[in-house]
Amino acid sequence: MKEFARTDRVSDFLQKELAHLIQFEIKDPRLGMVTVQDVRVSRDLGYADVFITVMPFGAQSDENKAEANDVAIKVLNKAAGFLRTKIGKALRARTTPELRFFIDDTLDNGMRISSLIEQAVREDKSRNANEEDN
């Protein structure tokens, strides 16, 4: 029976704490609605890779999603020291992982693959319907 690893516990804690801190402590108006999807902590707890998704707001439309993502990553990486300090106080551990932020594009990739599958099924149905008519 495998026990719950310390890195897993730290990852879960960081995910919850970062979600709260990003929502309530970071006051940068350029930052859209950010969701912390996943946190992966290195075995030595030296680094934490934080994967986020960004929902554009206001003037940021879906066409500007890449730009909104870039801005969010810049803002969060600039605030990483502040966030790390806050987390260090709450974590009360000997070391606090260095935070690195990345865009999690698995949702976008999944939606793209799903639409490609739906398109292939529609084309297959129309091809079958045409063959039946002939």
CATH code at position 35: 3.30.300.20
DSSP state of 94: S
Q: Hey, is 65 helix, strand or coil?
A: helix
Residue that the structure tokens 């969060």 belong to: 76
What's the confidence (pLDDT) of residue 1? 43
**Per-residue confidence (pLDDT) for residue 108, from 0 to 100:** 74
pTM > 0.85: yes or no? no
Same domain, yes or no, for 132 and 72?
no
| 46 shares a domain with 80 | yes
| Mean pLDDT calculated for residue range 121-131 | 83
User: 16 and 52: one domain?
Assistant: yes
Domain match, 12 and 60 both: yes
Q: Which residues pair with 88 in a beta bridge?
A: none
Query: Do 45 and 82 belong to one domain?
Result: yes
Residue 116: domain span: 106-134
Any idea which of 13-17, 18-22, 119-123 has the lowest mean pLDDT? 119-123
**Tens digit of each residue's pLDDT (9 = 90 or more) over 72-121:** 999 999 999 999 999 999 888 788 999 999 998 887 778 789 888 998 88
Give the mean model confidence (pLDDT) for residues 32-51: 92
Does the pLDDT value for residue 4 go beyond 70?
Answer: no
Residue 128 maps to a domain? yes
The total domain count for the chain is 2
Residue 126 in any domain: the answer is yes
Supply the pLDDT for residue 103: 92
* Claim to verify: residue 32 and residue 87 sit in the same structural domain: yes
Whether residues 72 and 99 fall in one domain: yes
Q: CA-to-CA distance for 76 and 99, rounded, in angstroms?
A: 9
Q: Are residues 82 and 113 in the same domain?
A: no
Do both 90 and 45 map to the same domain? Answer: yes
Cα atoms in the 13 Å half-sphere on the side-chain side of 103: 17
Q: Are residues 99 and 118 in the same domain?
A: no
